[in-house]
Amino acid sequence: MAKFNSVRLDSDKCMGCINCIKRCPTQAIRVRDRKAYIISDFCIDCGECIRICPHHAKLPVYDPVSVIHDFEYTVALPAPTLYAQFNNLEDTDIVLNALLKMGFDDVFEVSAGAEIVSEVSRKFINAHPEGKPYISTACPSVVRLVRVRFPNLIEHLLPISSPMDVAAIFARRRAMEKTGLPADKIGIIFISPCPAKMTSVKAPIGIGRSEVDAVVAIKDIYPLLLPLMSDSNDNYDIADSGKIGISWSKSGGEASGLLTDNYLAADGIENVIQVLEDLEDEKISHLDFIELNACPGGCVGGTLTVENPYVARAKINHLRKYMPVSKAHDVSDTNAIYLDREIEYLPVFRIGNDMKDSIKKMADIDKLQKRFPGLDCGACGAPTCRALAEDVIMGRATERDCIYFLKDYIGESCNISEK
Amino acid sequence: MNLEFTYTVDPDDFTRAGEASADIKKKLKKMNVPHEAVRKVAIAMYEGEINMVIHANGGIITVFVNEDFITMVLADKGPGIPDVEKAMQEGFSTAPDNIRALGFGAGMGLPNMKKYTDEMKIDTVIGEGTTVTMKVNL
Ligand SMILES: Nc1ncnc2c1ncn2[C@@H]1O[C@H](COP(=O)(O)OP(=O)(O)OP(=O)(O)O)[C@@H](O)[C@H]1O
Ligand code: SF4
Ligand code: SF4
Ligand SMILES: [Mg+2]
C-alpha cells in the first residue's frame, strides 16, 4: 500500500530545538545534525508537532485553493468544522452560498455524508452486536494509531467510510448526473480541518481509493469566504444537514448521532491512547461505541482551522439551535460506503525479525539503557534515554549521540593524545 | 535466551498501579510476541499487580520471556491468602468499602488471571506473603 505522510518538516525553519520530540505520541521525531526529522513509518499525522513547534517548521501538506482551476466542474465538500469558524452564524446556507460565489460549481456538505454514516452505523451496530464496542473510523490519525499499535483492536474498528469519503461518493454521482461529464473532469474538493485527511485521501485505509480529488485547508478558504458572506442576495437553499451532521465537528458528536447513551468519547491524542490501552486490557466493558478524535475537542481542534477549538465548539452549539435534528437522506444504495479492504496490523515498532532476534535486541537495549544517565534530556535528539538505546541497537544512532558518552569519549581521546 | 524484567510495585500509589503491566505490554509488542499473547499477559499481570497494591502492600514482579513462553512471578510480603480455593471463586472479595468505591473488589481478579493464562500457581503463607506464578505459552 502507498505510504504517505502529510506532516513534514521545513528544515530551513527547524532550529533543532527539542520541543517536538517529546510531544510526539509515537516517538516518531528525532533531531540529528541540528535538524528534526520524522521517521515516517511511526508517524500517524496527528499534528501534535505542528501545535508545539515554536518555529512553525512543521509543514502540513495539502492542496492550494487554486486547485479548483484544474477541473471542469468542482464540488466543494466543506467539513462541518468550517461552520464553526464564523461569528454569529445562524444559517449554514450563508457559508454554502459563499462557496459558490468563490468559484465552486456545487457544494455537498460533509455533514450530510455524516448523517448518512450515522444512519448506516446505527443499523450496522444493531445487526452486528457481537463486534461491540465499535471504534469510530472517522479520524484518520486514530485509524493509523490502531493499525500500528493496537492489533488486538483492529477487529473493533467500525467498517464504514468516513463522512468525507461518503460525501465524495454521493457528490461525484450527483455531479455526473447533473453535468454528463466524465468522472475525471469533476473535481471533488474537501475543505479540511487537518492534514490527516490529506493522508487518508492519498493513502486510504479500508477502501481502495478515495473519491476526493483534492484537499484544501479551512484556514486558506476562510479569508476568501469572509467578504462573500451575506444573507441578502442570491440566497439559494442548499443546506442539507441538521444537528446530527454538524455535531460531528466536535467530540461526542458522532456518538450522539448513534442515539445511544452507551458510548465513550475521547479527544486529544494522549487521551485517545489511554482509552485504547484500557480497551485492549479489557478495563472498559459493556460499551456500544467508542468515539476517538486525535485533536483536542474533536475536529474543531484540527491544525488547519482558524478558531480556538473551545470557541468553535460554542459556535457549533449556537448554530445547532436553529437546525432540525437531521435531514432525510437517500440511503437505499449504501454498499459503497462500507469499508471493503481488510485493515492489517503494521508492526512498525517491532525490533527483531523473529522472537529470537527480538529477545536479543531487547536485552541489548535494556543493557545499554542502564548505561545512559536516565535524564531523558533530549540533547541526543531522541525523546528518552530508552529511545536512544533502541535507536543505537537498531542502527539509527550511536552511543556518542549521548553527551555524557561523548564527554567520556573526548576525555579518553585527550588522555591518549597526552600520552 | 531468557529475558528478564523486574518491577517494584509501590504499595501506596494507586495512580501508578498498572505501570508494570503497561510497560511489559509495550515491550512485548515490540518483540514478535503474538498479539493475543501480549493481551493475555497484560490483562493477567494487571490484575495481579492491582492485587499486590490492594491486598498485600506492594511487592516485586519478575517477568521471564523466552521463545516458548512468558512467565510472571508476582511476589509480595503481604498477609497471605487464608483460603486459596475460596479466593479463586468468582465474586469472592475481602476488599474494603473504600477500595470498592474505586471500582475494585468485584472478586474477578484471580479468576481472570487463571482464565487468561495457561498455568497459574499460588504459594502463600499466612503472615509471610504470597507468590503468584503465571505462565502464558507462545
Ligand atoms: N496478593 C494477595 N495477598 C493477599 N490476599 C490476596 C492477594 N490477592 C488476592 N487476595 C485475596 O483474594 C481475594 C480475591 O482476589 P480477586 O483479585 O479475585 O478479587 P478482588 O481483588 O477482591 O477484586 P477485583 O480483582 O475484582 O477488583 C481478595 O479479595 C483478597 O482477599
Ligand atoms: S504528526 Fe504526530 S505522529 Fe507525526 S511526527 Fe508529528 S507528532 Fe509525531
Ligand atoms: S480529530 Fe478531526 S481534525 Fe483532528 S486529525 Fe482527526 S479527523 Fe483530523
Ligand atoms: Mg483483584
Higher pLDDT, A233 or A156: A156
Pocket test for ligand 3, best of A26, A51, A194 (most atoms within 8 A of CB): A194
**Residue A419 predicted with pLDDT over 50:** no
Question: Residue A330's beta-bridge partner residues?
Answer: none
Q: For the ranges A96-105, A122-131, A305-314, A405-414, which has the lowest average pLDDT? A: A405-414
Nearest-CA residue for atom 6 of ligand 3? A139
Q: Which residues of A touch B67 (CB under 8 A)?
A: 355-356, 359
Distance (Å, whole) CA B135 – CA A80: 51
pLDDT at residue A101, as a whole number: 94
The pLDDT-based confidence of B134 (bands split at 50, 70, 90) is: very high
Grid coordinates given for B58: 506492594
Q: What is the ipTM of this complex?
A: 0.90
Which of these, A152, A169, A380, A167, lies nearest to B25 by C-alpha position? A152
C-alpha distance from residue A360 to each of A268, A341, A356, B24, B57 (Å): 36, 35, 6, 16, 34
> What's the gap between Cα A64 and its chain centre?
19
Q: Which of B2, B15, B27, B32 has the most A C-beta neighbours within 10 Å, making it the best mutation to test the interface with A?
A: B32
Q: What fold characterizes domain A354-419?
A: 3-methyladenine DNA Glycosylase II; Chain A, domain 3 (1.10.15)
Q: Pinpoint the residues of chain A covered by CATH 3.30.70.20.
A: 1-60
Mean pLDDT for the stretch of residues A320-342: 87
Cβ–Cβ < 8 Å for A293, A272: yes
Which atom of ligand 3 is closest in space to residue A303's alpha carbon? 3
The pLDDT-based confidence of A410 (bands split at 50, 70, 90) is: confident
Q: Classify residue A184 by its DSSP letter.
A: G
The string of pLDDT tens digits covering residues B89-132 is: 999 999 988 888 888 899 999 999 999 999 999 999 999 999 99
C-alpha distance from residue B126 to each of A39, A205, B118, B129 (Å): 53, 55, 26, 6
Q: Which residues of B touch A355 (CB under 8 A)?
A: 31-33, 67, 138
The string of pLDDT tens digits covering residues A27-37 is: 999 999 899 99
pLDDT at residue A233, as a whole number: 60
Choose the CATH number for A1-60 among 1.10.287.610, 3.30.70.20, 1.10.260.40, 1.10.3720.10. 3.30.70.20
CA distance to partner chain B, nearest, from residue A414 (Å) = 38
Distance (Å, whole) CA B138 – CA B135: 10
What is the average pLDDT value for chain A, to the nearest integer? 93
C-alpha distance from residue B87 to each of A353, B94, B110, B128, B129 (Å): 42, 9, 7, 17, 15
Q: Which residues of A touch B36 (CB under 8 A)?
A: 152
The string of pLDDT tens digits covering residues A187-215 is: 999 999 999 999 999 999 999 999 999 99
**Residue A54 predicted with pLDDT over 50:** yes
Q: In which region does residue A395 sit, left (phi positive, over 0), alpha (psi from -120 to 50) or beta (all else)?
A: left
Cβ–Cβ < 8 Å for B110, B91: no
CB contact under 8 A, A358 and B35: no
Q: What fold characterizes domain B2-137?
A: Heat Shock Protein 90 (3.30.565)
Distance (Å, whole) CA A265 – CA A271: 10
pLDDT at residue A260, as a whole number: 87
B26: nearest CA in chain A?
Answer: A149
pTM of full prediction above 0.90: yes
The string of pLDDT tens digits covering residues B10-58 is: 987 777 889 999 999 999 999 999 999 999 999 999 999 999 999 999 9
Rg (CA), chain B: 14
**Residue A113 predicted with pLDDT over 70:** yes
The pLDDT-based confidence of A286 (bands split at 50, 70, 90) is: confident
Cα(B39) to centroid(ligand 4), Å: 18
Cβ–Cβ < 8 Å for B9, B53: yes
Q: Which stretches does DSSP call E strand in A253-395?
A: 263-267, 289-293
Mean pLDDT for the stretch of residues A82-100: 94
3-state secondary structure of A319: helix
**Residues ≥6 apart with Cβ < 8 Å to A137:** A143, A157, A158, A159, A160, A161, A162, A206, A339
Helix (H) or strand (E) holding A368: helix A355-371
Closest partner residue to A351 (CB to CB) among B30, B35, B67 is: B30
Closest partner residue to B1 (CB to CB) among A277, A280, A359 is: A359
Cβ–Cβ < 8 Å for B117, B39: no
pLDDT at residue A414, as a whole number: 67
The string of pLDDT tens digits covering residues A349-391 is: 999 999 999 999 999 999 999 999 999 999 999 999 999 999 9
The string of pLDDT tens digits covering residues A125-171 is: 999 999 999 999 999 999 999 999 999 999 999 999 999 999 999 99
Q: Pinpoint the residues of chain A covered by CATH 1.10.15.40.
A: 354-419
Q: Which of B2, B21, B26, B30 has the most A C-beta neighbours within 10 Å, making it the best mutation to test the interface with A?
A: B30
The pLDDT-based confidence of A328 (bands split at 50, 70, 90) is: confident
Which atom of ligand 3 is closest in space to residue A304's alpha carbon? 3
pLDDT at residue A235, as a whole number: 63
The DSSP code sequence of A9-36 is E-TTT----SHHHHH-TT--EEEETTEE
